Amino acid sequence: MRQNALRQAWAQGRRTANWWLSIPSSFAAEVMAHQGWDSLTIDLQHGVVDYQTAVGMLQAISTTEAVPMVRVPWLDPGIVMKMLDAGSYGVICPMINNAAEAETFVRACRYPPRGNRSMGPIRATLYAGEDYVRHANDTVLAIAMIETAQALDDLDGILATEGLDGIYVGPSDLANALGCPPVLDPVEPKVTSAVERVLRAAKKAGLWAGIHTGAPAYARRMHQLGFDFISLASDSRLLALKSQESLAEIRGAAAPSGGARTY
């Protein structure tokens, strides 16, 4: 079976960089996959990507060594299993609020006896190999998003979930839940202290930790803080930012201070 390069990198203590795909285009996914990112995540929650388009994007990513992952729309075991069958090597699940939800998520990612994933790896065997079913439980990544006040309240319970590989901080939702401005790169002490608390707890539990960021400098800070993987903005956000910068340069003006008009 094809190895999961993220597991290998993290086990060796190497930090990784993930790209976020929200534009429904296999060509855009293929272009970004060829830029050297360690992994690419297809966003089915806030992106405008549907299932069939996501399959084409997974196929495009497969032309490279980048690890293909998805963020599912919600805690729905059906779509978790379906995206794994499509060949995703990692699933990021949003809005995990407690240990019970974390267990439901993990069990959807694992074949029996460690879970209740249904048998039918339609495309996964094409990507991973004919022995996929035998090794999938130890290869695909189950990553829970920590981004709510409820998740902070039951953080230890979530992190103790058997079979959970890692957590992923959603800074905008977390900031919003704590009564602070919902931004990708928070500086409010209330939010940054919560982020650091989650990171410390994840490391103590032996789990890998990731976070979403909006700017390269902040991403570097999160790597230095101890996060194993970071995501940088998204394809739609980068498109808007670079478009603004280029237009401002043409017109001899400064780019708008508000940044890109998209997440």
The residues that are catalytic are 46
Three-state SS for the chain is: CCCCHHHHHHHCCCCEEEEEECCCCHHHHHHHHCCCCCEEEEECCCCCCCHHHHHHHHHHHCCCCCEEEEECCCCCHHHHHHHHHCCCCEEEECCCCCHHHHHHHHHHHCCCCCCCCCCCCCCHHHHHCCCHHHHHHHCCEEEEEECCHHHHHCHHHHHCCCCCCEEEECHHHHHHHCCCCCCCCCCCHHHHHHHHHHHHHHHHCCCEEEEEECCHHHHHHHHHHCCCEEEECCHHHHHHHHHHHHHHHHHCCCCCCCCCCCC
What would you report as the CA-atom Rg of the chain, rounded to the nearest whole angstrom? 18
